[in-house]
Structure 1
Amino acid sequence: MSKAVRYLRFGDPDVLEVHEIPEPHAAPDEVRVRVTAAGLNPMDWQIAARSETAARFGITLPAGFGSDFAGVVDEVGADATGFAVGDRVFGAAIGRSVADHVLVKPAEATLRHTPDGVGDEVAATLPVAGLTAFAALAAIGLHAGDTVLIGGAAGGVGVFATQLAKRAGARVLGTASERTFGFLRGLGAEPVAYGPGLADRVRALAPEGITAATDLFGRETVGAALELGVAPERISVVADGPAPPPGVRATGALDAGPGALERITDAIRSGEITVPIAATYPVERIREAVTTQAAGHVHGKIVITL
């Protein structure tokens, strides 16, 4: 038998349960990964909470939970290529990553070899959050000399976007609660409190103006950037949310383009990017982990260990 987090109805984290299920085995075109760590993302609990969100990802009840994972290949189908038993890997499997075993088709899935020097807990945070951050900055053509406002800079996507923007040579202003200011300064950002009056606070911090923005949580940063005169095509938002104003770029992990994950893992290995892990929870505490993340005050990533 094998363990997997599943839910039989949509709702709050209390719907999540650890189930014993028959051990799955790889089909000819699949590999099986023995999962050791699964990184949580806001989209995971949003899918479990709302049927309309789940439908956008093709998920129906009963459903598995989670998207990102890392572990070791322990079965390889006869027709699957590129991976061997014993390979350390990480990837994404929407709606089924928090489980002892994940089956993936290498020809169709986001599955990568985990580089030496990158631990499984870190690798398990990368596919959704890392690629979303990469895509959000690529959509606005961020470059050296930009002053960029990042909404939600201390969150799971924000920690990647902040560091990628600094690495690109931009000045980074990041919205956050005041208790997060020290954390953001440690990532190289200049923190600014979110909430009413955001545009005025940004204007005071950067009187010469900002040139780009990305909103990784809600739409407040979009409004502030437009008020400050940023061109809509130099503002991006995460696509899974309300429709943005005309001209603003809606994007997500699927838009990151080839080589993005490799560039991120190279930067982690070189020490140019760190991955703050706010907390790790054993799979038996999945409800507590998701409740903590859904509260919206996490600084970095939450990881489930299996």
Structure 2
Amino acid sequence: MKTLARLCASLLAAACVSSPALANTWPNKPVKLIVAQPAGSSPDTTARQIALKLSDVWGEQMVVENKAGANGNIGMQAVATAPADGYTVGLGVPSNMTINPFLYKMPFNPLQDLVPVAQIGSVPFALVVNPKLPVHNVKELVAYAKSLKGEMNYSSAGIGNIGHLAAELLADRGGFSMHHIPNKGDAPALQDVMAGQTQVMFVGIPAVAGHARSGRLRLIAVGGTQRLPAFPDVPTIQEAGAAFNDVVIQGWNGIVAPVGTPREVINKMAQDVAKVLDSKEVRDQITTSTGLVVKVSTPDEFNTFIRAEFTKWGKLISALNIKVQ
């Protein structure tokens, strides 16, 4: 009911202002960008880089506000319940947009209460193993895991994160099982793999690139739809066969707004984000600092992408009965 009331109010307000007027006058005061992760995190770094450039384009400041906690739910609830006037938006990431709804009792629905504006980019995940493991590709990993009959361990940064779900998706498609060893963050989880306490892990490529080059980890596949220029000899998971066609593992982020935000504002914001990301300097800066591969999208394209991710992870979580303990 609250969502319906806010939507009606926003539509009424929008009806009182012509489209040209909105396009010409927004923004005429600072815009708040809420980041549901702590300051200094990769999403926060990306948000601040985008905010700085949008401030230049608009002549009005975009202010980044960190609201971390509850795996991102606190910050995104603040976005979902903000006035739908274009002056409060948020940075959506996989956890708070497509995974949390299946793991937590949430006070808002990201698909109903938030509107996609523009994707900023994505980070392909890497599938790494301890270098002593006798596997060099996905097919060998599947065969080896089957021979151990569920005794192989894999690390993740915690229950319900992408690394956890990615490993379960790979095991499901490969017809084998592994034992999950959750940790408190990527760094300690990677240390477990390198020490041999666990054998396998999915993690964003920036976190493991150096370890892979040094030989402390073996990078056997990447989770994107194409090979990475930095590791041209490493295949994608999809190259392992048709059973793995839907095993596309990537982190991503993008701007979302409260439902009911006038479409003219959504379109202008998306166009301005695209304008900012059109700069090679900005793209290189984002990629260098966060590992994010810049991806420009329209609001509709971003919406389609989010809903596909929502469906994929929702089906997996439900099928495997994954729960936050």
What TM-score results when the alignment is normalised by the length of structure 2? Answer: 0.34
Query: Which fold has the larger relative contact order, with Cα–Cα distance below 8 Å and residues 6 or more apart in sequence?
Result: 2
Which of these two proteins has the greater Rg computed from alpha carbons? 2
Higher strand share: 1
